[in-house]
Amino acid sequence: MKLGHIGVPVADIARAKAFYDAIADSIGLKQLADHDDFVGYGLDDSYEFYIHTGKVGISGLHVCFDVNSKEAVEEFYKTGLEAGGTDNGAPGIREDYSPTYYAAFVIDPDGNNIEAVFRG
């Protein structure tokens, strides 16, 4: 497992974008996606860090863990729900991310959106 990406909620996307655009080069990132409510930064073709205005759960924080199999995604989802998490997306392919992006999402007891992904 490795950290896949992290999303940070912001109050003003334009202000936050100006800040992160300014520091991106100095921390080795480049802007990969720019939408009205989401700006993603990364190294190659996948973002590791993003800012967003939409809130999921209570906190709006999003953390993704890259895992090594579809079975690991399924186990994460099952055990996350058993441990008190709330469903935020059952295991499956997320075509809008990529044709091989197999992920599941669970809101933890504190309202954070936790994801496991296998990029197959």
Domains of the chain: 10-54 (3.30.720), 64-120 (3.10.180.10)
DSSP string, the chain: -EEEEEEEE-S-HHHHHHHHHHHHGGGT-EEEEE-SSEEEEESSSSEEEEEES---TTT--EEEEE-S-HHHHHHHHHHHHHTT-EES--SEE-TTT-TT-EEEEEE-TTS-EEEEEE--
Which position has the higher pLDDT, 52 or 90?
90
Say what the pLDDT of residue 103 is: 96
Mean of pLDDT values over 6-28: 85
pLDDT of 6 above 80: yes
pLDDT of 57 above 80: no
Say what the pLDDT of residue 19 is: 83
pTM: 0.74
Considering Cα of 62, then 68, then 74, then 76, what sign does the dihedral take? negative
pLDDT of 46 above 90: no
pLDDT of 64 above 60: yes
